[in-house]
Amino acid sequence: MQLGRVVGNVVCTIKSDPLEGKKLLVVQPLDKQGKDTGKPLIAIDCVGAGAGETIYWCRGREASMPWYPEQEVPTEAAIVGIVDEVHLG
């Protein structure tokens, strides 16, 4: 998983059926200092994340697991947690 911040959302009227009702959010990856790093990506939300929140997301086949086996959701990124705190040791 990786840390990121929700910076926007995407609306698609025409989409793959399993994407119906899912929230597509724009995620900006963050570095250790909490600064933007790399390029934003689109992820499906499964925890009710919203704009400005620090989150962590999961990539790959695993990203569709929150809906499996009821639905086979075509995604390679899913927001799976809203971060309260990052403790640096």
Partner 1 sequence: MLIGRVIGDVVATRKHPSHDGQKILYVQILNLDGSERGNPILAVDAVDAGVGDQVLVTQEGWSAMTSVGKPFSPIDMSVIGVVDQIAVADD
Q: Please identify, using beta-carbon distances, which residue of 15 and 61 lies nearer to partner 1.
A: 61
For residue 6, the minimal CB distance to partner 1 (Å) is: 13
| Residues engaged in binding partner 1 (CB under 8 A) | 1-3, 29-32, 37-38, 46-48, 56, 58-63, 65-66, 68-69, 78, 80-89
Q: What is the DSSP string of 7-45?
A: EEEE--SS--GGGTTPEEEEEEEB-TTS-B-S--EEEEE
Q: Please identify, using beta-carbon distances, which residue of 42 and 82 lies nearer to partner 1.
A: 82
